[in-house]
């Protein structure tokens, strides 16, 4: 790629990570090198983990999470320290020029929950190599990242089975 863009997949609807997985498959099919980085999911909790671990070439797949979202509380100091270390690793992947496409899944939650400051993410993205494409996913994406992005897709929930009491289903939602 001559020019790598910054893409944002946000909104309150289902399908942001799924869209990023679809782009990953497309890029791998064309021989691009992809880093798929998940901030909250732990290995072995979602179907994509089982699929991605079987792909041996051109994919770096890393889970930085412990498998649970933080709901109704702020992160503790140990979690913040781990998050800073994780962001350092992610920054090195971005700057490393070993990947054509880098997906950072659930980055909005990482910022909105106070794991990392949005300005730190903005600084990293402003300094990314020109040829690297970066995709950021998550609901409630900070406006600063939306403004910086070259492409923004808003996934809107029109109707959702959760509202009818249907819980997440294996192989469909995770």
Q: Give the tokens for residue 74.
A: 């702020």
- Whether the CB-CB separation of 110 and 90 falls below 8 Å is answered with no
Neighbours of 112 (CB within 10 A): 15
Q: What is the pLDDT of residue 42?
A: 60
Residues 7-34: pLDDT tens digits?
999 999 999 999 999 999 999 999 999 9
Residue 162 has pLDDT above 90, yes or no: no
Residues 93-146: pLDDT tens digits?
999 999 999 999 999 998 998 889 999 999 999 999 999 999 999 999 999 999
Report pTM.
Answer: 0.90
Q: What is the pLDDT of residue 91?
A: 97
Residues 30-87: pLDDT tens digits?
999 999 998 876 656 678 878 888 887 899 998 876 655 566 677 778 778 888 889 9
Q: Domains in the chain, please, with CATH?
A: 6-67+74-164 (3.40.50.300)
Question: For residue 111, which of 154, 133, 89, 140 has the smallest C-alpha distance?
Answer: 140
In this predicted model, which residue has the larger pLDDT, 163 or 41?
A: 163
Q: Cβ neighbours of residue 62 under 8 Å, at least 6 residues apart?
A: 35, 36, 37, 38, 89
Q: Give the tokens for residue 45.
A: 């909790």
Q: How far apart are the first and last CA of the chain?
A: 32
């Amino acid at each position: 790629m001559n020019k790598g863009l910054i893409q944002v997949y946000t909104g309150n609807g289902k399908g942001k990570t799924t869209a990023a997985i679809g782009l990953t498959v497309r890029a791998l099919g064309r021989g691009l090198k992809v880093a798929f980085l998940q901030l909250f999911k732990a290995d072995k909790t979602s179907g994509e983990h089982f699929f991605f671990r079987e792909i041996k070439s051109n994919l770096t797949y890393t889970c930085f999470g412990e498998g649970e979202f933080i709901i109704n509380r702020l992160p503790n100091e140990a979690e913040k320290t781990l998050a800073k270390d994780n962001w350092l690793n992610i920054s090195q992947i971005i700057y490393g020029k070993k990947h054509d496409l880098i997906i950072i899944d659930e980055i909005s939650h990482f910022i909105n929950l106070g794991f990392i400051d949005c300005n730190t993410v903005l600084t990293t993205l402003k300094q990314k190599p020109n040829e690297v494409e970066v995709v950021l996913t998550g609901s409630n994406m900070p406006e600063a990242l939306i403004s910086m992005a070259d492409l923004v897709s808003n996934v809107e929930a029109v109707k959702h089975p959760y509202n009818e009491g249907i819980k997440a289903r294996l192989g469909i939602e995770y």
